[in-house]
Amino acid sequence: MSILANKDTRLLVQGITGKEGLFHTQQMAAYGTNVVAGVTPGKGGEWVLDGKVPVFDSVKIAAEATGANATVIFVPARFAADAMFEAADAGIPLIVCITEGIPVQDMMRVRNYIDRKDVRLIGPNCPGLLTPGEAKVGIIPGDIAIPGNVGAVSRSGTLTYEVLYALKQKGLGASTCVGIGGDPINGTSFVDVLAMFEDDPQTDKVVLLGEIGGTDEEQAAEFIATKMTKPVAAFIAGQTAPPGKRMGHAGAIIQSGAGTAADKIKALEAAGVRVAKHPEELPDLLG
């Protein structure tokens, strides 16, 4: 089994008629993902992808009509919180939000709400999920990874692509790749994904791609040290970042001496994780 998404995933796309939504829907469908519906308020009754995918006015109606069990969100930041609320209210168990630039206050409301629901949110501001050979939910290029036994979890989109391709070049495949996003408040943490990989019989080893800011990597190190039996290799981006300056993601900022690359590397190494100095070293560290 893979984690989160596989060939049986029935995906709907919120914002399917927008430029980004339609483009990536085409890419996901071409990869083999089972895209069963789209949602754009006011455009219910239309069809996209040459009449193959129906468009509905609401997530609830789309889910009832198609049996969708996952959704990916490509809507502008000002509408993204409402899109996540709508998906959660419709009972969609897996919500993947690609949208970046969502205000922190919006995400605080979303997180408070979904924590009371039986749903899993990936993102926001993330590349989504890729289960090589089965399904892609989001924007990770399908051709940069091959099926295999390495689980990958990352806060950085482009770094994810680089490492998946490096693994492929060495003949190493991925079980599932999860981009959790780099915002200060998101739906799924490193620890959440590591726990899924630990329980997944098709994942034998794990790559963790972190960056400066926050304490997620330190919490991951504690989980690895106490709960994981599978080997983990890691890379931390932003090792030369100056304190107090945001580097890329909204969450990638060192504040009050916390969240430095050195602190994260120290915690991971103390947990037995092999930490690469450069991303391309990761395949060799996995052995």
Active site residues: 249
Bridge partners for 48 per DSSP: 53
Strand 10-14 and strand 53-56: the pairing is unpaired
> For residue 124, is the peptide bond before it cis, meaning its omega torsion is within 30 degrees of 0?
yes
What is the end-to-end Cα distance of the chain in Å, rounded? 23
Angle 111-78-56 (CA atoms, 0-180°, nearest 5)? Answer: 90
Q: Which two tokens stand for residue 1?
A: 């089994």
Task: Please tell me the distance from the alpha carbon of residue 9 to that of residue 134, in angstroms, as a whole number.
Answer: 9
Task: Please tell me the distance from the alpha carbon of residue 35 to that of residue 200, in angstroms, as a whole number.
Answer: 25
3-state secondary structure of 8: coil
| 111, 119, 163, 171, 237 from 105: Cα distances, Å | 10, 20, 32, 43, 26
Strand 135-138 and strand 10-14: the pairing is unpaired
Neighbouring C-alpha atoms within 13 Å toward the C-beta of 192: 15
Task: Please tell me the distance from the alpha carbon of residue 13 to that of residue 264, in angstroms, as a whole number.
Answer: 36
Q: Which two tokens stand for residue 118?
A: 């039986």
Edge to edge, what strands does the sheet with 174-179 contain? 135-138, 128-131, 174-179, 147-154, 205-211, 232-237, 274-275
